[in-house]
Structure 1
Amino acid sequence: MYFIYSSILILLGLILSPIIAISFIIKPKLRAGFWKKIGFYRDLSSKKTTIWFHAVSVGEVNAVESLIKKIKQGFPDHNLVLTTVTRTGQEIAQNKLAKVVDRITYFPYDFNFSVKSAINAIKPQLVVIAETEIWPNFAQELNKADVPIIIVNGRISPSSYKGYKNFSWFFKNILKNYSLILMQTEEDKNRIIDIGANPDRVEVMGNLKFDIANILNKNEINELKESLKLGNNKLLIAGSTHQGEDEIILDAFKQLKSKFNDLKLLIAPRHPERNNQVQKLITETGFNYGLRSQKDNFENNDIILLNVMGELGKLYSVSHIAFVGGSFSGTGGHNPLESAIYGVPVLSGPTVFNFKDIYQYITTSNAAQIVNNQQELYSAIQELLLNQNKHNKMSSACINIFETNKGALDFTIDKLKTLF
């Protein structure tokens, strides 16, 4: 089975190589880490026990940040290696975890030779995969090397489940290589068992995203607010926006600004390559604006463009209301908990399937509100600015959801301890 899979993979690679080459030229970010991914790794091994964490991109890095830090704290003599697939994932990993892990590099393509090269270079005693990355050759080679492989914070969306289910005969053989699979919900657990995982190796752990690390304390929040020169103004943050969403938020801001002169806006595009495009849109509004990269503040500006990586999470701490992007663009939304942890009411568009379970929970808890269009977004923001009682209730609900959902991190740590 693995021989056939590997042969098909190589054949597809050869057939599609012209298209891949063109894609690399058109979108340079796609070729980030190419030579490492193909198998050219330097020696990353250590005489110490090595734990290899894999987080495909930004969201997964954020999810396992607290887990990695807790492992480092509890096992300071262990060698920790972190891999990602995307360039932005690498940037966030470097920004947040460079001083915690021993090595940060790229995850290999699933060609047999690439996987073997990575395993030989890192020589792990344990591999921890964030969320649900199932790579046949990778899992098989680790099993051959007698290295336990674990999925943590696992989830399977309804659409992914349908695809996996069609090939359950194939994935059953792959999933038997996993020593432990820790899923977020009972529904996720049932889906992966239905795909072929051994029920005895699957457990529900909750969601690591409720255990957010590096929460700013009150003094740090006050210092950040002062550095931004917010004063008594109220900050609306539009976080992780995608194409088409910046126009929506800017139009709503224009309408709101005529009624609420103390309202300020910070826009944080999801993808850095869009910064120039968003800056042009902001310029066209006629509002005074600044750039975070230049340490600009709100003293003489109505809008700040967050054009640096790794700061959005802490900036939510000084916001009054948060709009979480990717929810009007069809992308599926982004993590609303980064703002909710600070008691900031969350507003999102209708498309939030990437965080369906979290949104279902926080909207039911009245910590967040889904809006269907620009007019509803405007009305929701206006109501939160006018109705302090509603704002207070949503803010309290945000805090309460974390109080009632603690435990995923400690549960995972206890499980990992049994394997190394």
Structure 2
Amino acid sequence: MESLWTVLPIFAPMKPIYDFSTHLFSTLAKIATGTNSKLGKLVDGRENLFGKLAEFRKNFTAPIAWFHVASLGEYEQARPVIAELKRKMPEYGVVVSFFSPSGFDHVSNKSQSDVDFITYLPIDTPRNAKMFLGILQPALAFFVKYDLWANHILTAKKMKIPLFLISASMRADQIYFKVYGGFFRKILESFAHIFTQNRETIDLLEGVGIGCTTLTGDTRYDRVKQISQHPKSFPEIKSFVAGKPVLVVGSAWEEDMDLILPFINTHSEYCYIVAPHDINVQAIEKWQKRIVRKSIKYSEIGKNQSADVLFIDNIGMLSSLYQYARIAYIGGAFGKGLHNILEPLAYGIPVVFGNLQKVTKFPEAEISKNQGCGFSVSTEKEFEEIMGELEDPEVYQKACSSAEKLVSGNLGSAAKIIQSVMDQIKKS
């Protein structure tokens, strides 16, 4: 079979199949227009996309560095690189495109330093890609981690736009590394350079003949360190915790709360701050009913209600809440995916999280465990045991020191990326 693939041009038959699938998705998605579903927002948000982009470009004549991200998490990875680009290459404007409505909505509703324009990426058809890039005319293009859209990347390559992939973290089970993945490898081959999070990604890429790579690490370390150095201040929460040891539960799902609630009910020495993954009042009220101790929502905190458990019922606070924590529990491992454990680690505190279904998708979890600042649990008993172990001052301090060492040892990724990009631009 392998000899057949060396004779037949894989790229030719796969491209029409890919294009057909994107056209079909675009057509079917329009059925959701006007609904409040995620798919409906994805379609409605792209209304007049090209008109808005053309209006921006008409009035903005500086060269453009275009960053594409899937959603909010990838945008956070891009932010240190954007800031470094603006610092070292101030003549460039920055445009950020999103695929996900949740990421776009969250970011576009607030002023973003160093970003000149925020847009959706159009559905990845050949026509859309040509129109988008024809209007935007970027001088540089950056894709973050994994959200790689074939037509936009291949069209940019044809237009001789330098393409860079940053914070790449790849796995052997991805289609790029399969015998039938020739078309998708063409996407990776289009990048002028790929900056990776780990050595394993470089080995995988070199195994399929892609050599323009550099190990620069995960740009999230730069970002979480920035946040931890300048967290938002919440005087009302400082008053709420009143000097007691705090367990912050970040991005809590039902499975996480099932594990944690028994501990909350039996350990009055802590006070608790719980930030749900989704702000769902019904879910919060259901959890409140299962807690034997007094609990309140953040929206009620100004009513001078004393309580031991605080539920955060708005968004945008979590990354700064860890400043009040002695220990953090990070949710999502039992379900959709582990939330960002680097945020609490940047504050120099240990993190606890559920046993992961797919360990390779979240390499930072295994790294934190090996370093001694991350702890995974499967049951209520295991969670209680870990919390008990961390009561030992020596064990706790060792975990805190490991967290600080892990983060400080991985800083500087953004600076390395931009310096490499600048060097490559000078050579071209």
Fold equivalence (TM over 0.5): yes
Q: Structure 2: which amino acid aligns with 1:157?
A: R
Aligned runs of 1:279-318 on 2, under 5 Å? 279-293=285-299, 296=302, 300-318=306-324
Deviates more, 1:17-26 or 1:335-344: 17-26
**Residue aligning to 2:373:** 367
Q: For residues 23 and 280 of structure 1, do their structure 2 counterparts lie closer, same or farther at Cα, with a shift above 3 Å needed?
A: farther
**Residue aligning to 2:161:** 147
**Residue aligning to 1:211:** 222
* 1:275-316 deviation digits (Å, cap 9, x = unpaired): 532333224424333333455599612222222222211111
**Residue aligning to 2:276:** 269
How far residue 185 of structure 1 moved from its aligned partner, in angstroms, is 1.0
Q: For residues 349 and 142 of structure 1, do their structure 2 counterparts lie closer, same or farther at Cα, with a shift above 3 Å needed?
A: same
Paired residue secondary structure (1:51): strand
What CA RMSD, in Å, does the superposition of the two structures yield over aligned residues?
Answer: 3.0
Deviates more, 1:75-84 or 1:283-292: 283-292
* 1:108-150 deviation digits (Å, cap 9, x = unpaired): 2211122122212322111111112322211111012111111
Confirm whether residue 232 of structure 1 aligns to residue 248 of structure 2. no
Deviates more, 1:388-397 or 1:401-410: 401-410
* 1:152-205 deviation digits (Å, cap 9, x = unpaired): 00011343x2564243322232322211111111101122333x4531x12211
**Residue aligning to 1:176:** 189
CA distance in 1: counterparts of 2:398 and 2:214, whole angstroms: 34
**Residue aligning to 1:391:** 396
How far residue 359 of structure 1 moved from its aligned partner, in angstroms, is 2.0
**Residue aligning to 1:64:** 78
**Cα contact 1:287–1:303 (8 A) shared by 2:** yes
Aligned residues: 409
Q: For residues 53 and 401 of structure 1, do their structure 2 counterparts lie closer, same or farther at Cα, with a shift above 3 Å needed?
A: same
Confirm whether residue 108 of structure 1 aligns to residue 122 of structure 2. yes
How far residue 34 of structure 1 moved from its aligned partner, in angstroms, is 2.0
Confirm whether residue 8 of structure 1 aligns to residue 13 of structure 2. no
Q: For residues 95 and 308 of structure 1, do their structure 2 counterparts lie closer, same or farther at Cα, with a shift above 3 Å needed?
A: farther
Q: Among the aligned pairs, what percent are the same residue?
A: 20
Q: Structure 2: which amino acid aligns with 1:8?
A: I
CA distance in 2: counterparts of 1:355 and 1:224, whole angstroms: 37
CA distance in 2: counterparts of 1:215 and 1:149, whole angstroms: 28
Q: For residues 290 and 91 of structure 1, do their structure 2 counterparts lie closer, same or farther at Cα, with a shift above 3 Å needed?
A: farther
Paired residue secondary structure (2:214): strand
**Cα contact 1:6–1:112 (8 A) shared by 2:** no
CA distance in 2: counterparts of 1:411 and 1:297, whole angstroms: 49
Q: For residues 40 and 403 of structure 1, do their structure 2 counterparts lie closer, same or farther at Cα, with a shift above 3 Å needed?
A: closer
CA distance in 2: counterparts of 1:135 and 1:235, whole angstroms: 43
* 1:231-272 deviation digits (Å, cap 9, x = unpaired): 211111111223422232223211223xx2xx1112222234
* 1:29-72 deviation digits (Å, cap 9, x = unpaired): 22324256587322132310100111211221121222212222
Aligned runs of 1:119-134 on 2, under 5 Å? 119-134=133-148
Paired residue secondary structure (1:211): helix
Confirm whether residue 186 of structure 1 aligns to residue 191 of structure 2. no
How far residue 318 of structure 1 moved from its aligned partner, in angstroms, is 1.2
**TM-score (normalizing by structure 1):** 0.87
Aligned runs of 1:54-93 on 2, under 5 Å? 54-93=68-107
**Cα contact 2:33–2:44 (8 A) shared by 1:** no
**Residue aligning to 1:29:** 38
Instruction: Give unpaired runs (5+ residues) of structure 2.
Output: 1-9
Instruction: Give unpaired runs (5+ residues) of structure 1.
Output: none
